Amino acid sequence: MHRDTNVRSFAKAFSWRIFGSLTTTVIVYVFTKRVQVALFVGVVELVGKILLFWLHERLWERIPLGKHEPTPTVIWFTGLSGSGKTTIAQWVHAELRRRGIRAEYLDGDTIRHLFPTTGFTRTDRDQHIRRVGYLASKLEENGVFVVASFISPYEESRAFVRGLCRNFVEVYVSTPLEECERRDVKGLYARARRGEIRNFTGIDDPYEAPANADVVIDTRGVTVEESGGKVLNRIRGNL
């Protein structure tokens, strides 16, 4: 969300008033048939009303009546690999930005690419989620909506992140394992089944499903827009 600077307010006032003053100038000329008088009245009105409008804007900026400030929220998507959480999260992030909301998108694959030494043991995963959760909480603290998409398989880690944030919405993308395996866009499940990947969530590493998620979405038979709309409906009071 933006706040008009003094320069922008003045420019808006000038562009609006110049049309009004031209109309006044024409009207004065029609009645007086004197160009100098018409121009003088037009200029006086232009300058005077620009200043009055600018002062009016500044006064209303200080009045809280009718103002609504969005409440920054951390929207945390969790679910198995291939569940559809990233696709929905990206849609939600794009929709927030389209509405003029300050929002950042955090994704597990992207962050792991930046920190390639991060492992997949329970300890590594827990530390990884805690670091990202801290980052999300700081963004929220500074007025930014955060859309985060992470497998985040452990309840304890997710609870830790929730405790860091002021407004935390947990979105559980509950698409079943068999459906995620059927999709297997990256071929990761097949490799995990062959033993080529260890500590793979859902195969040889557990996924602790949220017991009380704020939003639950099974992506079978629903569109991205329907899923994303369900999330936005949950946070509509914060927008």
What CA–CA distance (Å, rounded) separates 6 from 107?
38
Contact 204, 192 (CB under 8 A): yes
| CA nearest neighbour of 143 among 75, 74, 92, 91 | 74
Give the neighbor-by-neighbor strand order of the sheet with 145-149: 103-107, 145-149, 74-79, 168-173, 215-217
Q: Tokens 């929709």 identify what position?
A: 95
Catalytic residues: 152
Long-range contact set of residues 94-102: C-beta below 8 Å, sequence gap at least 24: 95/228, 95/232, 96/145, 96/147, 96/239, 99/239, 100/1, 100/2, 101/1, 101/70, 101/145, 101/239, 102/1, 102/72, 102/143, 102/144, 102/145
| CA nearest neighbour of 227 among 97, 98, 96, 84 | 84
